Amino acid sequence: MTATRGLEGVVATTSSVSSIIDDTLTYVGYDIDDLTENASFEEIIYLLWHLRLPNKTELAELKKQLAKEAAVPQEIIEHFKSYPLNNVHPPMAALRTAISLLGLTDSEADVMNPEANYRKAIRLQAKVPGIVAAFSRIRKGLDPVEPKEEYGIAENFLYTLNGEDPSPIEVEAFNKALILHADHELNASTFTARVCVATLSDIYSGITAAIGALKGPLHGGANEAVMKMLTEIGEVENAEPYIRSKMEKKEKVMGFGHRVYKHGDPRAKHLKEMSKRLTNLTGESKWYDMSIRVEEIVTSEKKLPPNVDFYSASVYHSLGIDHDLFTPIFAVSRMSGWIAHILEQYDNNRLIRPRAEYTGPDKQTFVPIDERA
């Protein structure tokens, strides 16, 4: 047996949910460009879970189910209120704990038939936006905002986060961001979720495990790191010396390159366009201009194109979202993909148990403790 570090290039399972072939991302065979320009996030949820697009009646029913389950349980609200009132609590740790707590409030948590798992899927997808928004407000000493039944997920999240109705362009931008982050084949958090539920653990355990994987800066935290970099740069004229200094020190410039894509992340261009529109709308085009300059330098010097995280940073900043909420927002979207893969794993399960190439010492003999040096 020979190990492959990071399982790079290893095909671990079959899946009908999404694919990355020749730098093209598809959800159930639909090109991500087509879906981003034409679909709502709710349509993507249905597509990933049912492996087909909904008709009008099916979409209306899904929206109705999601709206019915959107309220955040009081147990989670009280849990967040028990935190000391400051901004130091890591939002991803809070989200991870909240999802685990959500499982404790669900009487069907350990009921494993397909119907119960689908009901739990609805609850998870419906509640996670409100959980993130409620945490954000409570840590600032603000009361949570109840979602509006007539709003979709994108509009409701911005409304419950900021307490005011978002503009149409803000809803459009966030809807596109949700679609673009919804699934991405066997990324680290999705694989973690599948490994967890392959033991026939419950869906809440699978999602909690996935959030733990997403929390790492090499996965979900990249766009927050990008915004930190842009903030440090400050102005467009500072971009070139800042980036060249980083490259001279051989420091990583976050938001560029990808393990799977060789010629560019197909999702990046959509967020690049939304960054341009939003920063212009807010009168802070410097964030977009800085991003463009950084992209020019890195792609010229390193031949690394931007990935989806690079322009999502300035998009989320322009929507008035706290920087440390960028990764929890990733989870709001990726919940749809995690659930799709979990349901697929349950449907055709086999315990995931790889082997390891042993590299330790060989043929050792036990020495009694009194004889050891």
With tokens 């009280």, the residue in question is 78
Cα 154 to Cα 96: distance, rounded to the nearest angstrom: 21
Cα 343 to Cα 121: distance, rounded to the nearest angstrom: 9
Cα 46 to Cα 154: distance, rounded to the nearest angstrom: 15
Q: Pick the catalytic residue from 181, 184, 258, 317.
A: 258
With tokens 């798992």, the residue in question is 117
Contact 220, 93 (CB under 8 A): no
Verify whether residue 23 is a known catalytic residue: no
Q: Pick the catalytic residue from 202, 309, 324, 341.
A: 309
Cα 373 to Cα 369: distance, rounded to the nearest angstrom: 9
Alpha helices in the chain (DSSP H): 32-38, 41-50, 56-68, 74-81, 91-104, 114-138, 153-162, 168-180, 188-197, 203-214, 222-233, 239-248, 268-282, 286-302, 308-318, 326-347
Verify whether residue 50 is a known catalytic residue: no
Q: For residue 20, give the 3-state DSSP assignment.
A: strand
The tally of CA atoms less than 13 A away on the side-chain side of residue 72 is: 26
Q: From 346, 340, 31, select the one nearest 187 (Cα to Cα).
A: 340
Encoding tokens for residue 142? 């603000």
Catalytic residue numbers read 258, 309
